Amino acid sequence: MPEIKATVETEVEVSFEAFCEKCGAGICNNVSTRNSYRRGQPQIVITPCQLCLDNSYEEGQNSRDDEITELSDQIGELSEQLENYHGNT
């Protein structure tokens, strides 16, 4: 029997769910899909989980506040040392 090779394109709709890997929250509302402009490849665009963003922001603020406290303490100690130095000269 003669044979011929043919390419068949099949479009399939795929439903899926999305979850934040870090906290486990469902983030289906943070996901959108599109096809790439030039290649037409399916793409998934995900906005980070708001809870984890808020937590990261808070962690950053706490870390910054700790750093500021530490630096203020060091400045206080150095000022004291400087006053003592001048007091002794």
Instruction: Give contact residues for Zn ion (rule: CB under 5 A).
Output: 20, 22-23, 25, 49, 51-52
CA trace torsion 10, 11, 15, 19 (10° rounding): 90
User: Can you say whether the dihedral through the CA atoms of 42, 47, 49, 55 is positive or negative?
Assistant: positive
d(CA 61, CA 40): 41
**Taking the complex as a whole, how short is the minimal distance between the CB of residue 58 and Zn ion, in angstroms?**
13
The least distance separating Zn ion from the CB of residue 33, rounded to whole angstroms, comes to 20
Give the nearer residue to Zn ion in terms of CB position, either 24 or 76: 24
Residue with Cβ nearer Zn ion (56 or 69): 56
Pick the closer one to Zn ion by CB: 19 or 81: 19
Q: Shortest distance, CB of residue 79 to Zn ion, whole angstroms?
A: 43
**Residue 30 CB contacts under 8 Å (≥ 6 apart), including other chains:** 18, 46, 47, 48, 49, 50
Least distance between Zn ion and beta carbon 18 (Å)? 11
Nearer CB in complex with Zn ion: 22/64: 22
Amino acid at 38: R
